[in-house]
Chain A
Amino acid sequence: MNNLLEIHHITKNYITDKEEIKAIKDITLQVHKGEILTLVGSSGCGKSSLLSILAGIDTATSGFFQFHKENPVIGYMLQNDALFPWLTIYQNALLGLKIQKKDTIENQEYVKELFKKYKLEEFMNKKPSELSGGMKQRVALIRTLAIKPDILLLDEPFSALDYQSRLAVSDDVFNIIKKENITTIMVSHDIAEAISMSDRIVVLSKRPCYVKKIYDIHLTNKKNPIENRKAPEFKDYYNQIWKDLDINV
């Protein structure tokens, strides 16, 4: 298999005024080109920490990661859309390009294309406050895609949405990612969502986290997330992962 990213023994300790918090114990992981890899794990186990290390926002305490690509472009998407309310949707989408000084006419055209493709064209000059939560999340995705990322890091990108738009938007996002064929690492606390969207699922232990188990998700008639939920294997994966997570209710 063709790896895009290799993560080697990454650890992360946070040092606060009072104590040292061990967030990541040891993560070693291969990320394949073109796959959707989902991290699941209990709350506070260190998922976001790992993504922000990979995104270059934070540094690991020890260990390293390596892209099999020169100057990889990383697209990072968070729980909340983080759209700037004083900019139009279109200006918001150009933000990453502006910062990376790549807002050429060509790239602007590409962004406009994305708006057309994902049916947000007529809203381009509106302010974020005029859009629904699901639409805003799609704009956030366009903003991330605008920089043509080699890898997408999605940190619970749908968790701020209500159940209905969550299903619809995750379906959209899935289709977009697959169409653009972008390698994706996603964090989700929703097991069903993880199974329905992923090629592989990494189950993390409780904090400080390490890789507990990795599942290759094989579903009969794998299509889009909503359809995938009907696959006969779905329930078994669900029960297995539920057990792995060792959730105490």
Chain B
Amino acid sequence: MSEQAKSIIKKKKRQKFFIIFVQFLIVIGFFLGWEYLAQNKIINSFIFSSPSRIMETLQGLIITGELWEHILTTLYETILAFTIGISAGFVIAIILYEFPILAKIIDPFLTMINSLPKVALGPIIIIWAGANTKSIIVMALLINLIVSIMNIYNGFQGVDEMKIKLLKSFGANKKQILRYLIIPESKRTIISSLKINISMTLIGVIMGEFLVSKKGIGYLIIYGTQVFNLNLVMTGILVLILLSFIIYEIVSFIEKKLST
């Protein structure tokens, strides 16, 4: 490697390190600033809470074991809704692909449902599905399923016409075309929609937990608000931020693994 290339690589490495360092500083600075403002009563820590109070609350939740229960509940609901959303989306997309007329018929309805703010349906869902986990899953599905269907279906539609012709020239039937071409070719589209999907699912789950639940991070936040315990609310939000970040990273990792 040339000296020049070496120095450029070095420079890039230094830059990367610098970026991470500044990001770290921002986080630390944010919490220190918050704590400082709260300690000196510049902000009302009853309303705004403070990092030290959050730590206390967090400790309490960990000691009683509640924290895990809430995290696991939200995680369980998210994974369940995500799996159902992706698989049902896949099956429905295949049906639509096999029956183009059906696809044309339901197209405007899909668009309509997709553009509707799903939270508006919350009260009805509770009445129909009951005030339980089912409602939460339905809420999440309402948000992620249409997106899944549309993504996967578009993936199917984007398959190269030449390749379909080629398989037909070998005498392939519909099932074989689906198996040998459509599904593997759209694997990439499906994988790349996983990330959007997991975010959508999490939104749906938290929304559902806001509406009905006795457990979960969404419940923690909404309960904290109801009893005006802002420490609990802030703790819930912080845990949610961490959780969604971790889930997102895991899905990105899976995406990378699958697409190589």
Identify the A interface with B (CB < 8 A). 52, 55-57, 74-76, 78-80, 82, 84, 86, 95-96, 98-100, 147
Contact = CB atoms under 8 A, between A and B. Distances in A.
B170 A99 contact: yes
B176 to A, nearest CB: 6
Given A78-B165, A84-B163, A84-B181, A99 B171 contact: yes
B187 interface: yes
B176 A99 contact: yes
A74 B166 CA distance: 11
B184 A95 contact: no
The 8 closest A-B CB pairs, nearest first, are: A76-B169, A99-B170, A96-B170, A55-B169, A82-B162, A82-B166, A99-B172, A57-B168
The secondary structure that dominates the A interface is: loop
How big is chain B's contact interface, by range? 10 to 19
A184 to B, nearest CB: 15
* Of listed B160, B169, B184, residue having the most chain A CB within 10 A: B169
| Interface of B (DSSP majority class) | helix
Interface in B23-72: none
A187 to B, nearest CB: 14
Interface in B170-217: 170-172, 176, 180-181, 184-185, 187
A140 B129 CA distance: 55
Among B160, B165, B170, B181: residue with most chain A CB under 10 A:
B170
B171 A100 contact: yes
B183 to A, nearest CB: 11
Nearest to B188: A86
B184 A56 contact: no
B75 interface: no
Given A84-B181, A98-B180, A99-B180, A56 B165 contact: no
Residue among A57, A86, A99, A147 with the highest chain B CB neighbour number at 10 A: A99
B184 A100 contact: no
Contact of A84 (B165, B169, B176, B184): B184
Nearest to A76: B169
